[in-house]
A and B are shown apart, each in its own frame.
Chain A
Amino acid sequence: MSYLYDEMPANNRAGMKSHLEACASCRAQMTTWQGATHELDNWRLPSHRRGRKGVTWVRWAAAAAIIGLTVLGAACITTLSNEVKQLRTEVQRSSQLDFNAALAQVTEQASKSASADAQALIAAVAQRLEEKRLTDQQATLATLQKLNAQHTEDFASMRKELETVAVFTEAGWQRTQNQLADIAYSPASVSNNQQE
């Protein structure tokens, strides 16, 4: 399977290849599997972009620039004529520019991701602070509400007591009034009786 999907290290691959050349049954098996993979290719779905293509592209560009430079260096050693030298410097300059550009791009990408990390951290800290502030606020609010409720309750009970007192007072006053009235009337009736 590793051989079929090109996941085998090169030295193992060579061994496998020579074995397949020698062994007919293994070769037949491999052909069957290869046939099946070609059949699988017949079922196509709309293609899609995947992963971080941009970064890979930059990497490839950098790799290509490096390879280009190496090749150029090797070529320069073998050729000595002035014309070629001139050409070499020119090409070298342009590839240097390419390489610099690729390097700058890679560096930029790296610094961008670093700043993204920093930003993420700052955002996390800010969120924590915000959460803390919110919970504090909520706690204060809850205490205030509790105090308020206590006040209302106190006020209600005080009012009730006052009302009770008022009722009692009124009753007492009424009683006194009645008694006074009794006292006012009763001597008169007594004197009336005496006159008769």
Chain B
Amino acid sequence: MKSFSLFSITDEQAMWRVQMQDDAEAFALLVERWEGPIQNLCTRMLGDAHRGEDLAQEAFTRVFTKRKDYEPRGKFSTFLWRVALNLCYDELRKRERRRETSLDLDSEDGELGFVTEELSPDISVAREETADGVRAALMRIPETYRSVLVLRHYEDLKFREIADVLAIPEGTVKSRMAEGLSQLARLLEREAKRENTIKSRITSKTAETGRELLVL
């Protein structure tokens, strides 16, 4: 009876049970409902699915350990998005520090760089490359813009909800969204140009070798 009635309770009711009675069943329900979205948020903030999964798990652990801090007046999802996003910010800051210390060793920003040397004719590979290009471009956008882009575009939160999560005015959310999209468009355009020059260089080179072969 109890487990069945759990399916009809709201997130807030479930969280109240977790908060007041340490109800494991209610917590499991919340995890089941929100694990996917939180994993996707972390993956998109970090550009890394494995680390995204780890952070999502950490976010739920934190929600449980900080369950007494949750204020029942607000929406549970707002609280959860905020916890997860803060973990992402911490992780990105850690990465930044690591990169600064190892900057002398590799000048190339390896993991974020584009790999366009080899162009495969396979369509699925090409699609994967486009996805990778978008991912890489998003990673280059400042995280304050990225979080707004991810929450609005991928997680489909309204601007008002994002303002609640980030505790900033709705107008600021919109201006960050505009700036984020503009930066993204610029980055992708630049990459497309770079890719085209590489492509033309490769075709001219193959033409050259072909001509040489003909001469021989």
Contact = CB atoms under 8 A, between A and B. Distances in A.
B201 interface: no
Contacts of A44: 131
B149 to A, nearest CB: 7
A115 interface: yes
Contacts of A182: none
A26 interface: no
A39 B181 CA distance: 10
A115 B137 CA distance: 50
A48 B152 CA distance: 16
A37 B159 contact: no
A120 B20 CA distance: 10
Interface string B11-24: 10100110011000
Contacts of B98: none
Contacts of A1: 159, 174, 177-178
Nearest to A5: B152
B177 A119 contact: no
A46 B6 CA distance: 26
A36 B21 contact: no
A33 B16 contact: no
Interface residues of A, number: 35
A42 B6 contact: no
Interface in B140-198: 149, 152-154, 158-159, 174, 177-178, 181-182, 184-185, 188
A39 B188 contact: yes
Nearest to B77: A51
A32 B185 contact: yes
A100 interface: no
A36 B37 contact: no
Contacts of A120: 13, 16-17, 21
B153 A37 contact: yes
Given A39-B188, A40-B153, A40-B154, A32 B8 contact: no
Contacts, number: 98
B199 interface: no
A32 B158 contact: no
B127 interface: yes
Contacts of B158: 7
A116 B158 CA distance: 30
A43 interface: yes
Interface in B1-42: 2, 5-11, 13, 16-17, 20-21, 33-37, 39-40
A39 B43 contact: no
B21 A127 contact: yes
B36 A123 contact: no
Interface of B: 2, 5-11, 13, 16-17, 20-21, 33-37, 39-40, 43-44, 49, 127, 130-131, 133-135, 137-138, 149, 152-154, 158-159, 174, 177-178, 181-182, 184-185, 188
Given A45-B49, A51-B11, A109-B8, 9 more contacts: A33-B178, A44-B131, A49-B33, A50-B37, A54-B7, A55-B8, A113-B8, A116-B6, A127-B21
Interface of A: 1-2, 5, 7, 32-33, 35-37, 39-40, 42-52, 54-55, 109, 112-113, 115-117, 119-120, 123-124, 127
